[in-house]
Structure 1
Amino acid sequence: MPRLRRVLPALLALSALPLALAQPAHAAPAAGERFVALGDSYSSGVGAGSYLPDSGNCQRSSKAYPSLWAAANAPASFSFTACSGATTGTVKSSQLAPLNSSTTLVSITAGGNDVGFASVMQTCVLQSEANCVTAVNNAITQINNTLPGSLSSLYGSIRGKAPQARVVVLGYPRFYQLSGNCIAGLSETERAAINRGSDALNSTLAKQAANAGFWYSSVVDEFTGHEICSGNAWLHSVSVPVSNSYHPTATGHSAGYLPAFRSAV
Protein backbone atom coordinates (compact mmCIF):
# COMPACT_ATOMS: atom_id res chain seq x y z
CA MET A 1 0.00 0.00 0.00
CA PRO A 2 2.76 2.55 0.84
CA ARG A 3 4.39 1.72 -2.50
CA LEU A 4 1.05 2.30 -4.31
CA ARG A 5 0.74 5.70 -2.63
CA ARG A 6 4.21 6.60 -3.90
CA VAL A 7 3.51 5.39 -7.48
CA LEU A 8 0.01 6.82 -7.88
CA PRO A 9 1.05 10.51 -8.13
CA ALA A 10 3.61 9.62 -10.79
CA LEU A 11 1.00 7.71 -12.80
CA LEU A 12 -1.38 10.66 -12.58
CA ALA A 13 1.35 13.03 -13.76
CA LEU A 14 2.15 10.78 -16.72
CA SER A 15 -1.51 10.53 -17.68
CA ALA A 16 -1.66 14.32 -17.93
CA LEU A 17 1.49 14.60 -20.02
CA PRO A 18 -0.01 13.96 -23.50
CA LEU A 19 -2.55 16.73 -22.94
CA ALA A 20 0.19 19.16 -21.98
CA LEU A 21 2.35 18.18 -24.94
CA ALA A 22 -0.60 18.59 -27.31
CA GLN A 23 -0.74 22.33 -26.68
CA PRO A 24 1.13 24.25 -29.42
CA ALA A 25 4.03 26.26 -28.08
CA HIS A 26 2.79 29.40 -29.79
CA ALA A 27 -0.83 29.17 -28.60
CA ALA A 28 -2.28 32.41 -27.26
CA PRO A 29 -5.82 33.39 -26.32
CA ALA A 30 -7.48 34.58 -29.54
CA ALA A 31 -9.37 37.23 -27.62
CA GLY A 32 -6.06 38.95 -26.94
CA GLU A 33 -4.91 38.94 -30.56
CA ARG A 34 -4.47 42.17 -32.45
CA PHE A 35 -4.82 40.95 -36.01
CA VAL A 36 -3.93 42.72 -39.26
CA ALA A 37 -4.74 41.08 -42.63
CA LEU A 38 -2.57 42.28 -45.51
CA GLY A 39 -2.17 41.23 -49.12
CA ASP A 40 -3.68 40.85 -52.56
CA SER A 41 -6.96 39.48 -53.91
CA TYR A 42 -6.33 36.04 -52.41
CA SER A 43 -6.56 37.65 -48.98
CA SER A 44 -9.19 40.29 -49.75
CA GLY A 45 -11.54 37.58 -51.00
CA VAL A 46 -12.09 38.31 -54.69
CA GLY A 47 -14.29 35.49 -55.97
CA ALA A 48 -15.91 34.82 -52.59
CA GLY A 49 -18.68 37.42 -52.92
CA SER A 50 -20.28 39.31 -50.01
CA TYR A 51 -17.93 42.28 -50.43
CA LEU A 52 -17.81 44.81 -47.64
CA PRO A 53 -19.53 48.07 -48.66
CA ASP A 54 -16.56 50.26 -47.70
CA SER A 55 -13.95 48.19 -49.54
CA GLY A 56 -14.59 49.54 -53.04
CA ASN A 57 -12.30 48.12 -55.72
CA CYS A 58 -10.28 46.27 -53.08
CA GLN A 59 -13.20 43.82 -52.86
CA ARG A 60 -12.70 42.75 -49.27
CA SER A 61 -15.15 39.98 -48.47
CA SER A 62 -16.86 38.89 -45.28
CA LYS A 63 -16.26 35.35 -46.59
CA ALA A 64 -12.49 35.78 -47.03
CA TYR A 65 -10.33 33.77 -44.64
CA PRO A 66 -9.23 36.79 -42.52
CA SER A 67 -12.88 37.78 -41.96
CA LEU A 68 -13.85 34.20 -41.15
CA TRP A 69 -11.00 33.80 -38.65
CA ALA A 70 -11.83 37.11 -36.96
CA ALA A 71 -15.54 36.25 -36.76
CA ALA A 72 -14.77 32.89 -35.15
CA ASN A 73 -12.11 34.10 -32.71
CA ALA A 74 -13.16 37.63 -31.72
CA PRO A 75 -9.67 39.16 -31.54
CA ALA A 76 -9.14 42.33 -29.53
CA SER A 77 -8.75 44.21 -32.82
CA PHE A 78 -8.96 43.37 -36.51
CA SER A 79 -7.70 45.56 -39.35
CA PHE A 80 -8.40 44.29 -42.87
CA THR A 81 -6.35 46.19 -45.46
CA ALA A 82 -5.80 43.52 -48.16
CA CYS A 83 -6.70 44.78 -51.61
CA SER A 84 -7.31 43.28 -55.03
CA GLY A 85 -4.41 43.92 -57.40
CA ALA A 86 -1.89 44.57 -54.64
CA THR A 87 1.80 43.95 -55.25
CA THR A 88 4.54 43.71 -52.65
CA GLY A 89 5.20 47.40 -53.33
CA THR A 90 1.62 48.57 -52.83
CA VAL A 91 1.20 46.43 -49.72
CA LYS A 92 4.30 48.16 -48.36
CA SER A 93 3.17 51.66 -49.36
CA SER A 94 -0.53 51.55 -48.56
CA GLN A 95 -1.47 48.68 -46.22
CA LEU A 96 0.91 48.77 -43.26
CA ALA A 97 -0.55 51.71 -41.31
CA PRO A 98 -2.44 49.52 -38.77
CA LEU A 99 0.76 47.68 -37.77
CA ASN A 100 2.42 48.67 -34.51
CA SER A 101 4.27 47.23 -31.55
CA SER A 102 0.97 45.91 -30.13
CA THR A 103 0.12 43.87 -33.24
CA THR A 104 0.28 40.17 -32.39
CA LEU A 105 -0.87 38.48 -35.62
CA VAL A 106 -0.45 39.28 -39.32
CA SER A 107 -1.60 37.36 -42.39
CA ILE A 108 -0.45 38.03 -45.95
CA THR A 109 -0.59 36.78 -49.52
CA ALA A 110 1.54 38.75 -51.97
CA GLY A 111 3.80 38.07 -54.94
CA GLY A 112 1.49 36.85 -57.70
CA ASN A 113 0.84 40.32 -59.09
CA ASP A 114 4.54 41.20 -59.00
CA VAL A 115 5.22 38.55 -61.64
CA GLY A 116 2.20 39.36 -63.81
CA PHE A 117 -0.13 36.56 -62.79
CA ALA A 118 -3.19 38.09 -64.48
CA SER A 119 -1.26 38.75 -67.70
CA VAL A 120 0.08 35.19 -67.77
CA MET A 121 -3.41 33.74 -67.39
CA GLN A 122 -4.77 36.05 -70.09
CA THR A 123 -2.01 34.91 -72.46
CA CYS A 124 -2.75 31.27 -71.72
CA VAL A 125 -6.48 31.67 -72.27
CA LEU A 126 -6.33 33.81 -75.41
CA GLN A 127 -3.10 32.88 -77.17
CA SER A 128 -1.23 29.79 -78.32
CA GLU A 129 0.15 27.00 -76.20
CA ALA A 130 3.69 28.10 -77.03
CA ASN A 131 2.96 31.67 -75.94
CA CYS A 132 1.43 30.39 -72.71
CA VAL A 133 4.48 28.31 -71.84
CA THR A 134 6.77 31.24 -72.67
CA ALA A 135 4.73 33.57 -70.45
CA VAL A 136 4.94 31.12 -67.55
CA ASN A 137 8.69 30.70 -68.03
CA ASN A 138 9.16 34.48 -68.06
CA ALA A 139 7.20 34.73 -64.83
CA ILE A 140 9.37 32.02 -63.26
CA THR A 141 12.47 34.02 -64.21
CA GLN A 142 11.01 37.00 -62.32
CA ILE A 143 10.10 34.73 -59.40
CA ASN A 144 13.69 33.53 -59.15
CA ASN A 145 15.52 36.79 -59.85
CA THR A 146 13.39 39.79 -58.88
CA LEU A 147 10.71 38.68 -56.44
CA PRO A 148 13.03 37.59 -53.59
CA GLY A 149 14.31 41.14 -53.11
CA SER A 150 10.80 42.60 -53.23
CA LEU A 151 9.55 40.12 -50.65
CA SER A 152 12.56 40.71 -48.42
CA SER A 153 11.92 44.46 -48.48
CA LEU A 154 8.21 44.03 -47.67
CA TYR A 155 8.83 41.49 -44.92
CA GLY A 156 11.47 43.75 -43.39
CA SER A 157 8.98 46.62 -43.26
CA ILE A 158 6.34 44.42 -41.64
CA ARG A 159 8.79 43.22 -39.00
CA GLY A 160 9.98 46.76 -38.34
CA LYS A 161 6.44 48.02 -37.72
CA ALA A 162 5.18 44.94 -35.85
CA PRO A 163 8.22 43.48 -34.04
CA GLN A 164 6.16 41.24 -31.72
CA ALA A 165 3.75 39.85 -34.30
CA ARG A 166 3.44 36.30 -35.53
CA VAL A 167 3.43 36.80 -39.32
CA VAL A 168 1.82 34.07 -41.44
CA VAL A 169 2.63 34.06 -45.15
CA LEU A 170 0.16 31.98 -47.14
CA GLY A 171 0.88 30.53 -50.57
CA TYR A 172 -1.22 29.99 -53.66
CA PRO A 173 -3.04 26.83 -54.85
CA ARG A 174 -2.06 24.71 -57.80
CA PHE A 175 -4.74 25.70 -60.27
CA TYR A 176 -5.33 22.53 -62.25
CA GLN A 177 -5.87 18.87 -61.61
CA LEU A 178 -3.93 17.23 -64.42
CA SER A 179 -5.70 14.47 -66.34
CA GLY A 180 -8.87 15.91 -64.87
CA ASN A 181 -12.39 16.07 -66.27
CA CYS A 182 -12.14 19.32 -68.27
CA ILE A 183 -13.07 18.62 -71.87
CA ALA A 184 -12.40 22.08 -73.33
CA GLY A 185 -10.18 24.97 -72.42
CA LEU A 186 -6.42 24.93 -71.93
CA SER A 187 -4.26 22.05 -73.08
CA GLU A 188 -2.67 19.67 -70.61
CA THR A 189 0.71 21.24 -71.44
CA GLU A 190 -0.61 24.68 -70.53
CA ARG A 191 -2.18 23.43 -67.32
CA ALA A 192 1.07 21.73 -66.28
CA ALA A 193 3.05 24.91 -67.03
CA ILE A 194 0.69 27.03 -64.90
CA ASN A 195 1.02 24.57 -62.01
CA ARG A 196 4.79 24.70 -62.39
CA GLY A 197 4.66 28.48 -62.11
CA SER A 198 2.56 28.23 -58.95
CA ASP A 199 5.03 25.77 -57.44
CA ALA A 200 7.95 28.10 -58.20
CA LEU A 201 6.12 31.04 -56.61
CA ASN A 202 5.30 29.05 -53.49
CA SER A 203 8.90 27.90 -53.16
CA THR A 204 10.17 31.48 -53.21
CA LEU A 205 7.51 32.61 -50.72
CA ALA A 206 8.45 29.80 -48.33
CA LYS A 207 12.16 30.61 -48.54
CA GLN A 208 11.74 34.34 -48.02
CA ALA A 209 9.29 33.80 -45.16
CA ALA A 210 11.83 31.56 -43.44
CA ASN A 211 14.58 34.13 -44.00
CA ALA A 212 12.40 36.75 -42.31
CA GLY A 213 11.51 34.53 -39.37
CA PHE A 214 7.89 34.33 -40.52
CA TRP A 215 5.64 31.27 -40.75
CA TYR A 216 4.79 29.96 -44.21
CA SER A 217 1.59 27.98 -44.69
CA SER A 218 0.98 26.19 -47.98
CA VAL A 219 -2.57 25.77 -49.24
CA VAL A 220 -1.67 23.13 -51.83
CA ASP A 221 -2.71 20.22 -49.63
CA GLU A 222 -6.04 21.82 -48.76
CA PHE A 223 -6.84 22.43 -52.44
CA THR A 224 -5.69 19.00 -53.68
CA GLY A 225 -8.75 17.34 -55.16
CA HIS A 226 -10.45 20.72 -55.50
CA GLU A 227 -8.45 22.28 -58.34
CA ILE A 228 -10.01 23.34 -61.64
CA CYS A 229 -10.88 20.17 -63.63
CA SER A 230 -11.34 18.16 -60.42
CA GLY A 231 -15.13 18.05 -60.61
CA ASN A 232 -15.34 19.73 -57.20
CA ALA A 233 -13.34 22.92 -57.72
CA TRP A 234 -12.83 25.51 -55.01
CA LEU A 235 -11.39 27.85 -57.64
CA HIS A 236 -13.20 29.78 -60.35
CA SER A 237 -12.16 29.02 -63.91
CA VAL A 238 -12.78 31.72 -66.54
CA SER A 239 -15.79 33.47 -65.04
CA VAL A 240 -18.15 36.40 -65.21
CA PRO A 241 -17.24 38.81 -63.77
CA VAL A 242 -13.77 38.25 -65.18
CA SER A 243 -12.17 39.41 -61.92
CA ASN A 244 -13.37 36.19 -60.24
CA SER A 245 -11.38 34.04 -62.66
CA TYR A 246 -8.68 31.90 -61.04
CA HIS A 247 -9.60 33.00 -57.54
CA PRO A 248 -10.92 30.88 -54.65
CA THR A 249 -14.64 30.53 -54.18
CA ALA A 250 -16.23 31.11 -50.78
CA THR A 251 -15.66 27.40 -50.09
CA GLY A 252 -12.03 27.83 -51.14
CA HIS A 253 -11.68 30.34 -48.32
CA SER A 254 -13.64 28.47 -45.66
CA ALA A 255 -12.32 24.98 -46.42
CA GLY A 256 -8.96 25.84 -47.99
CA TYR A 257 -7.35 29.08 -46.84
CA LEU A 258 -8.94 29.25 -43.40
CA PRO A 259 -7.65 25.83 -42.22
CA ALA A 260 -4.20 26.62 -43.66
CA PHE A 261 -4.10 29.90 -41.76
CA ARG A 262 -5.51 28.40 -38.60
CA SER A 263 -2.82 25.70 -38.61
CA ALA A 264 -0.12 28.37 -38.38
CA VAL A 265 -1.71 30.62 -35.74
Structure 2
Amino acid sequence: MLASATALSAVTFGLTAPAAHAATPLNYVALGDSYSAGSGVLPVDLSSPLCLRSLANYPRVIASRTGARLTDVTCGAAQTKDFTASQYPGVPPQVAALGPDTELVTLTIGGNDNGTFVNAMTACGTAGLLSGGKGSPCKDRYGSGFVDQIETNTYPALKAALRSVRDKAPGARVAALGYPWIMPPTADPSCFAKLPVASGDVPYLRDIQARLNAAVERAARETGATFVDFSEVSEGHDACKPGGTRWIEPLLFGTSLVPVHPNALGESRMARHTMDTLGLG
Protein backbone atom coordinates (compact mmCIF):
# COMPACT_ATOMS: atom_id res chain seq x y z
CA MET A 1 0.00 0.00 0.00
CA LEU A 2 2.82 2.36 0.93
CA ALA A 3 4.64 1.41 -2.26
CA SER A 4 1.49 2.09 -4.29
CA ALA A 5 0.99 5.44 -2.59
CA THR A 6 4.61 6.37 -3.24
CA ALA A 7 4.30 5.39 -6.89
CA LEU A 8 1.05 7.37 -7.25
CA SER A 9 2.68 10.35 -5.61
CA ALA A 10 5.60 10.16 -8.03
CA VAL A 11 3.26 9.98 -11.03
CA THR A 12 1.20 12.90 -9.75
CA PHE A 13 4.33 14.98 -9.20
CA GLY A 14 5.50 14.15 -12.67
CA LEU A 15 2.18 15.38 -14.12
CA THR A 16 2.00 18.59 -12.16
CA ALA A 17 5.62 19.72 -11.88
CA PRO A 18 6.15 23.12 -13.56
CA ALA A 19 8.34 23.41 -16.62
CA ALA A 20 11.96 24.07 -15.78
CA HIS A 21 12.13 27.20 -17.99
CA ALA A 22 9.49 29.83 -18.86
CA ALA A 23 8.98 30.64 -22.52
CA THR A 24 11.26 33.38 -23.81
CA PRO A 25 9.33 36.49 -24.94
CA LEU A 26 9.18 37.04 -28.68
CA ASN A 27 11.63 39.70 -29.84
CA TYR A 28 9.29 41.98 -31.82
CA VAL A 29 10.11 45.16 -33.76
CA ALA A 30 7.35 47.40 -35.17
CA LEU A 31 8.11 49.58 -38.20
CA GLY A 32 5.95 51.77 -40.39
CA ASP A 33 3.93 54.93 -40.85
CA SER A 34 1.05 56.59 -39.01
CA TYR A 35 -1.27 53.61 -39.48
CA SER A 36 1.30 51.56 -37.56
CA ALA A 37 2.03 54.37 -35.11
CA GLY A 38 -1.65 54.92 -34.36
CA SER A 39 -1.25 58.66 -34.90
CA GLY A 40 -4.20 60.49 -33.40
CA VAL A 41 -5.06 57.76 -30.88
CA LEU A 42 -4.57 58.65 -27.23
CA PRO A 43 -2.49 58.31 -25.13
CA VAL A 44 0.56 59.60 -27.00
CA ASP A 45 4.02 58.10 -26.60
CA LEU A 46 6.05 61.10 -25.44
CA SER A 47 9.40 59.38 -26.04
CA SER A 48 9.32 60.51 -29.69
CA PRO A 49 6.84 63.40 -30.01
CA LEU A 50 7.63 64.11 -33.67
CA CYS A 51 6.36 60.65 -34.60
CA LEU A 52 2.88 61.03 -33.10
CA ARG A 53 3.11 57.46 -31.86
CA SER A 54 0.28 56.08 -29.73
CA LEU A 55 0.57 53.84 -26.69
CA ALA A 56 -2.54 52.07 -28.01
CA ASN A 57 -1.35 51.34 -31.55
CA TYR A 58 -1.63 47.88 -33.03
CA PRO A 59 1.98 46.89 -32.20
CA ARG A 60 1.32 47.66 -28.51
CA VAL A 61 -1.87 45.62 -28.61
CA ILE A 62 -0.07 42.68 -30.22
CA ALA A 63 2.74 42.87 -27.67
CA SER A 64 0.35 43.05 -24.73
CA ARG A 65 -1.63 40.03 -25.95
CA THR A 66 1.38 37.87 -26.78
CA GLY A 67 3.83 38.95 -24.09
CA ALA A 68 6.31 39.93 -26.82
CA ARG A 69 9.24 42.23 -26.05
CA LEU A 70 8.44 45.19 -28.31
CA THR A 71 10.71 47.78 -29.86
CA ASP A 72 8.36 50.32 -31.48
CA VAL A 73 9.95 52.71 -33.99
CA THR A 74 6.80 53.44 -35.99
CA CYS A 75 6.48 57.08 -37.02
CA GLY A 76 3.72 59.21 -38.48
CA ALA A 77 4.32 60.42 -42.05
CA ALA A 78 7.01 57.77 -42.64
CA GLN A 79 7.78 56.75 -46.20
CA THR A 80 9.64 53.70 -47.46
CA LYS A 81 12.84 55.78 -47.66
CA ASP A 82 12.70 56.32 -43.90
CA PHE A 83 13.47 52.65 -43.34
CA THR A 84 17.07 53.31 -44.36
CA ALA A 85 17.46 57.07 -43.77
CA SER A 86 16.64 59.36 -40.85
CA GLN A 87 13.12 60.79 -41.08
CA TYR A 88 13.77 63.58 -38.56
CA PRO A 89 16.91 64.82 -36.78
CA GLY A 90 17.56 62.45 -33.92
CA VAL A 91 15.26 59.77 -35.32
CA PRO A 92 17.37 56.86 -36.65
CA PRO A 93 16.45 54.92 -39.79
CA GLN A 94 13.77 52.44 -38.82
CA VAL A 95 15.73 49.33 -39.78
CA ALA A 96 18.40 50.33 -37.24
CA ALA A 97 16.09 48.78 -34.64
CA LEU A 98 16.44 45.35 -36.28
CA GLY A 99 19.08 42.73 -35.64
CA PRO A 100 19.90 39.04 -36.05
CA ASP A 101 17.90 38.29 -32.89
CA THR A 102 14.69 39.93 -34.19
CA GLU A 103 11.97 37.29 -34.47
CA LEU A 104 8.90 39.25 -35.59
CA VAL A 105 8.53 42.44 -37.65
CA THR A 106 5.26 44.18 -38.52
CA LEU A 107 4.89 47.21 -40.75
CA THR A 108 2.40 49.34 -42.63
CA ILE A 109 4.11 51.49 -45.24
CA GLY A 110 3.64 52.95 -48.73
CA GLY A 111 0.66 55.27 -48.31
CA ASN A 112 2.86 58.34 -47.89
CA ASP A 113 5.13 57.63 -50.84
CA ASN A 114 4.35 60.15 -53.62
CA GLY A 115 1.91 61.73 -51.13
CA THR A 116 -0.67 59.21 -52.37
CA PHE A 117 -3.11 59.34 -49.45
CA VAL A 118 -2.76 63.04 -48.67
CA ASN A 119 -2.79 64.20 -52.27
CA ALA A 120 -5.67 61.97 -53.34
CA MET A 121 -7.86 62.86 -50.36
CA THR A 122 -7.09 66.57 -50.63
CA ALA A 123 -7.62 66.70 -54.39
CA CYS A 124 -10.84 64.69 -54.33
CA GLY A 125 -12.20 66.44 -51.26
CA THR A 126 -11.64 69.86 -52.85
CA ALA A 127 -13.16 68.73 -56.14
CA GLY A 128 -16.11 67.24 -54.30
CA LEU A 129 -16.88 70.48 -52.49
CA LEU A 130 -16.62 72.51 -55.69
CA SER A 131 -18.93 70.11 -57.56
CA GLY A 132 -21.46 69.85 -54.76
CA GLY A 133 -20.83 66.12 -54.63
CA LYS A 134 -21.87 65.49 -58.23
CA GLY A 135 -20.05 63.57 -60.92
CA SER A 136 -16.41 62.44 -60.77
CA PRO A 137 -14.37 65.64 -61.03
CA CYS A 138 -11.30 64.15 -59.35
CA LYS A 139 -11.18 61.13 -61.62
CA ASP A 140 -11.82 63.35 -64.63
CA ARG A 141 -8.83 65.52 -63.75
CA TYR A 142 -6.28 63.02 -62.43
CA GLY A 143 -7.25 59.83 -64.24
CA SER A 144 -4.69 57.08 -63.70
CA GLY A 145 -2.10 59.48 -62.26
CA PHE A 146 -2.18 58.21 -58.68
CA VAL A 147 -2.18 54.55 -59.72
CA ASP A 148 0.64 55.16 -62.18
CA GLN A 149 2.77 56.57 -59.37
CA ILE A 150 2.01 53.54 -57.21
CA GLU A 151 3.10 51.15 -59.95
CA THR A 152 6.10 53.16 -61.12
CA ASN A 153 7.47 54.43 -57.79
CA THR A 154 5.81 52.93 -54.72
CA TYR A 155 5.91 49.27 -55.69
CA PRO A 156 9.69 49.08 -56.30
CA ALA A 157 10.27 51.21 -53.18
CA LEU A 158 8.19 48.74 -51.16
CA LYS A 159 10.31 45.85 -52.40
CA ALA A 160 13.50 47.72 -51.53
CA ALA A 161 12.19 48.55 -48.05
CA LEU A 162 11.21 44.95 -47.37
CA ARG A 163 14.60 43.73 -48.59
CA SER A 164 16.28 46.14 -46.18
CA VAL A 165 14.26 44.56 -43.38
CA ARG A 166 15.33 41.08 -44.47
CA ASP A 167 18.97 42.14 -44.67
CA LYS A 168 18.94 43.39 -41.08
CA ALA A 169 16.78 40.61 -39.62
CA PRO A 170 17.32 37.51 -41.79
CA GLY A 171 15.62 35.15 -39.36
CA ALA A 172 12.55 37.26 -38.59
CA ARG A 173 9.00 36.61 -39.60
CA VAL A 174 7.92 39.77 -41.45
CA ALA A 175 4.29 40.85 -41.74
CA ALA A 176 3.38 43.64 -44.18
CA LEU A 177 -0.09 44.95 -43.43
CA GLY A 178 -2.47 46.36 -45.99
CA TYR A 179 -4.55 49.44 -45.25
CA PRO A 180 -8.15 49.01 -44.00
CA TRP A 181 -10.83 50.54 -46.20
CA ILE A 182 -11.21 54.30 -45.94
CA MET A 183 -14.10 54.65 -48.40
CA PRO A 184 -17.22 52.52 -48.85
CA PRO A 185 -17.67 50.72 -52.19
CA THR A 186 -20.21 53.30 -53.43
CA ALA A 187 -21.22 56.79 -52.41
CA ASP A 188 -23.26 57.29 -49.26
CA PRO A 189 -25.05 60.67 -49.50
CA SER A 190 -25.27 60.92 -45.72
CA CYS A 191 -21.45 60.79 -45.54
CA PHE A 192 -20.73 63.83 -47.71
CA ALA A 193 -20.52 66.18 -44.72
CA LYS A 194 -17.80 63.97 -43.19
CA LEU A 195 -16.03 62.94 -46.41
CA PRO A 196 -16.81 65.57 -49.08
CA VAL A 197 -16.01 63.38 -52.06
CA ALA A 198 -18.16 63.48 -55.19
CA SER A 199 -20.29 60.39 -55.75
CA GLY A 200 -18.34 59.23 -58.80
CA ASP A 201 -15.03 59.71 -57.03
CA VAL A 202 -15.85 57.41 -54.10
CA PRO A 203 -15.14 54.23 -56.13
CA TYR A 204 -12.22 56.06 -57.77
CA LEU A 205 -10.53 56.66 -54.40
CA ARG A 206 -11.33 53.15 -53.26
CA ASP A 207 -9.68 51.74 -56.37
CA ILE A 208 -6.54 53.78 -55.67
CA GLN A 209 -6.38 52.23 -52.20
CA ALA A 210 -7.00 48.76 -53.62
CA ARG A 211 -4.12 49.24 -56.07
CA LEU A 212 -1.84 50.37 -53.24
CA ASN A 213 -2.76 47.32 -51.17
CA ALA A 214 -2.13 45.10 -54.19
CA ALA A 215 1.34 46.64 -54.54
CA VAL A 216 2.06 45.91 -50.87
CA GLU A 217 0.84 42.34 -51.31
CA ARG A 218 2.98 41.79 -54.40
CA ALA A 219 6.09 43.25 -52.76
CA ALA A 220 5.52 41.11 -49.67
CA ARG A 221 5.13 37.93 -51.70
CA GLU A 222 8.26 38.63 -53.72
CA THR A 223 10.40 39.27 -50.63
CA GLY A 224 9.20 36.39 -48.47
CA ALA A 225 6.99 38.45 -46.16
CA THR A 226 3.44 37.64 -45.05
CA PHE A 227 0.75 40.00 -46.35
CA VAL A 228 -2.02 40.81 -43.87
CA ASP A 229 -5.09 41.49 -45.99
CA PHE A 230 -7.82 43.75 -44.57
CA SER A 231 -10.01 43.87 -47.66
CA GLU A 232 -12.65 41.53 -46.19
CA VAL A 233 -12.44 42.12 -42.45
CA SER A 234 -12.53 45.93 -42.72
CA GLU A 235 -15.50 45.95 -45.09
CA GLY A 236 -18.32 47.87 -43.43
CA HIS A 237 -15.93 49.68 -41.08
CA ASP A 238 -14.94 52.57 -43.36
CA ALA A 239 -14.87 56.24 -42.39
CA CYS A 240 -18.53 56.74 -43.36
CA LYS A 241 -19.79 54.41 -40.65
CA PRO A 242 -20.92 55.63 -37.20
CA GLY A 243 -18.66 55.75 -34.18
CA GLY A 244 -18.26 52.34 -32.59
CA THR A 245 -18.42 50.69 -36.03
CA ARG A 246 -15.89 52.59 -38.10
CA TRP A 247 -12.20 51.76 -37.83
CA ILE A 248 -11.13 54.87 -39.74
CA GLU A 249 -12.04 58.42 -38.74
CA PRO A 250 -13.53 60.72 -41.41
CA LEU A 251 -12.00 63.90 -42.77
CA LEU A 252 -14.46 66.11 -40.88
CA PHE A 253 -16.42 65.76 -37.63
CA GLY A 254 -14.46 62.77 -36.44
CA THR A 255 -13.19 62.02 -32.95
CA SER A 256 -9.47 61.63 -33.69
CA LEU A 257 -6.78 64.27 -33.65
CA VAL A 258 -5.60 62.96 -37.04
CA PRO A 259 -8.38 62.49 -39.63
CA VAL A 260 -8.56 59.63 -42.15
CA HIS A 261 -6.58 57.40 -39.80
CA PRO A 262 -7.48 54.41 -37.63
CA ASN A 263 -9.13 55.09 -34.29
CA ALA A 264 -8.52 52.98 -31.19
CA LEU A 265 -11.04 50.37 -32.37
CA GLY A 266 -9.32 50.20 -35.75
CA GLU A 267 -5.88 49.73 -34.20
CA SER A 268 -7.26 46.98 -31.96
CA ARG A 269 -8.90 45.19 -34.89
CA MET A 270 -5.74 45.53 -36.98
CA ALA A 271 -3.86 43.85 -34.15
CA ARG A 272 -6.41 41.05 -33.90
CA HIS A 273 -6.42 40.27 -37.61
CA THR A 274 -2.63 40.37 -37.79
CA MET A 275 -2.42 37.90 -34.90
CA ASP A 276 -5.01 35.67 -36.58
CA THR A 277 -3.10 35.76 -39.87
CA LEU A 278 0.20 34.93 -38.17
CA GLY A 279 -1.26 32.39 -35.75
CA LEU A 280 -0.16 34.35 -32.68
CA GLY A 281 -1.76 34.55 -29.26
Which band: TM-score by shorter chain? 0.7 to 0.9
How big is the shift at 1:144?
1.2
* Aligned counterpart for 1:143 among listed residues 135, 150, 167: 150
Q: Does 1:214 align with 2:225?
A: yes
Corresponding residue number in structure 1 for 2:132: none
The amino acid of 1:167's aligned partner reads V
1:148 touches 1:204 (CA, 8 Å); kept in 2? Answer: yes
Q: Deviations over 1:155-214 (max 9, x none)?
A: 111101000000000001221222434254222211111100010001111011000000
Q: Determine helix, strand or coil for the equivalent of 1:32.
A: coil
Give TM-score scaled by structure 2 length.
0.78
Q: Determine helix, strand or coil for the equivalent of 1:96.
A: helix
Distance 1:199-1:74 versus aligned 2 partners, 3 A rule: same
Corresponding residue number in structure 1 for 2:248: 235
Corresponding residue number in structure 2 for 1:193: 204
Partner Cα separation in structure 1 for residue 140 and residue 120 of structure 2: 9
1:120 touches 1:135 (CA, 8 Å); kept in 2? Answer: no
How big is the shift at 1:242?
8.5
Q: Determine helix, strand or coil for the equivalent of 2:75.
A: coil
Q: Determine helix, strand or coil for the equivalent of 1:36.
A: strand
1:169 touches 1:214 (CA, 8 Å); kept in 2? Answer: yes
How big is the shift at 1:137?
2.7
Distance 1:134-1:79 versus aligned 2 partners, 3 A rule: farther
How big is the shift at 1:243?
6.0
Corresponding residue number in structure 2 for 1:120: 120
2:176 touches 2:220 (CA, 8 Å); kept in 1? Answer: yes
Identical pairs, percent = 28
1:136 touches 1:197 (CA, 8 Å); kept in 2? Answer: no
Partner Cα separation in structure 1 for residue 112 and residue 75 of structure 2: 12
Distance 1:242-1:224 versus aligned 2 partners, 3 A rule: closer
Corresponding residue number in structure 1 for 2:264: 250
Q: Determine helix, strand or coil for the equivalent of 1:79.
A: strand
Corresponding residue number in structure 2 for 1:161: 168
Q: Where does the alignment leave 5 or more consecutive residues of structure 2 unmatched?
A: 1-21, 86-92, 129-135
Q: Determine helix, strand or coil for the equivalent of 1:167.
A: strand
Q: Deviations over 1:99-152 (max 9, x none)?
A: 011000000011010031112211111235423554473110011112221111
Q: Determine helix, strand or coil for the equivalent of 1:237.
A: coil
Partner Cα separation in structure 2 for residue 161 and residue 104 of structure 1: 11
Corresponding residue number in structure 2 for 1:50: 43
Give TM-score scaled by structure 1 length.
0.82
2:181 touches 2:231 (CA, 8 Å); kept in 1? Answer: yes
Partner Cα separation in structure 1 for residue 234 and residue 268 of structure 2: 11
Q: Determine helix, strand or coil for the equivalent of 1:53.
A: coil
* Aligned counterpart for 2:25 among listed residues 24, 27, 32: 32
Corresponding residue number in structure 1 for 2:11: none
Q: Where does the alignment leave 5 or more consecutive residues of structure 1 unmatched?
A: 1-28
Q: Does 1:226 align with 2:225?
A: no
Partner Cα separation in structure 1 for residue 237 and residue 24 of structure 2: 32
2:249 touches 2:256 (CA, 8 Å); kept in 1? Answer: no
Indicate the structure with greater helix content: 1
Corresponding residue number in structure 2 for 1:80: 72
Aligned residues: 235
Corresponding residue number in structure 2 for 1:6: none
